[in-house]
């Protein structure tokens, strides 16, 4: 399993998309996806933690935006929903990709 993380940002109509790949070894240790983002997001994006559970049989995503558990052999997509204000916001998408 690996993660494909997308950070979509819209600031006053200017849209940007940043992409981050997270290898399986980082999921085993547990990874805070929000720590991948630029420091300017620190005050806005709360922690999003991803880690294997059940001896690698599942992947747990834990955050204040919602938590989910996915079987580690199935593809899944998690979304934070909109974070921020009406004029500047972001969304985090985590795609789980079996290997």
Residue 63 in tokens: 């955050």
Q: Return the pLDDT at 94.
A: 98
Contacting residues for 23 by C-beta, under 8 A, at least 6 apart: 2
Q: Are 52 and 72 in contact (CB under 8 A)?
A: yes
Q: Return the pLDDT at 86.
A: 87
Q: Tell me: pLDDT of 66 over 90.
A: yes
Q: How many domains does the chain have?
A: 1
Compute the distance between CA of residue 69 and CA of residue 54 in angstroms, rounded to an integer.
Answer: 10
The DSSP element (H or E) to which 25 belongs, if any, is helix 24-29
pLDDT range class, residue 95, cuts 50, 70, 90? very high
pTM metric for this prediction: 0.93
pLDDT per position as a tens digit, 36-50: 999 999 999 999 999
Residues facing residue 61 across a β-bridge? 50, 68
pLDDT range class, residue 27, cuts 50, 70, 90? very high
Compute the distance between CA of residue 98 and CA of residue 66 in angstroms, rounded to an integer.
Answer: 22
For 77, the domain range is 2-97
């Amino acid at each position: 399993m690996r993660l494909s993380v997308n950070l979509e940002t819209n600031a006053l109509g200017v849209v940007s998309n940043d992409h981050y790949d997270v290898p399986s070894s980082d999921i085993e240790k547990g990874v805070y996806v929000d720590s991948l983002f630029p420091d300017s997001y620190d005050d806005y994006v709360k922690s999003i933690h991803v880690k294997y559970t059940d001896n690698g049989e599942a992947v747990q995503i834990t955050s204040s935006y919602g938590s989910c558990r996915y079987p580690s052999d199935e593809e899944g997509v998690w979304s934070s929903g909109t974070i921020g204000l009406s004029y500047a916001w972001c969304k985090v998408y985590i795609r789980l990709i079996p290997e």
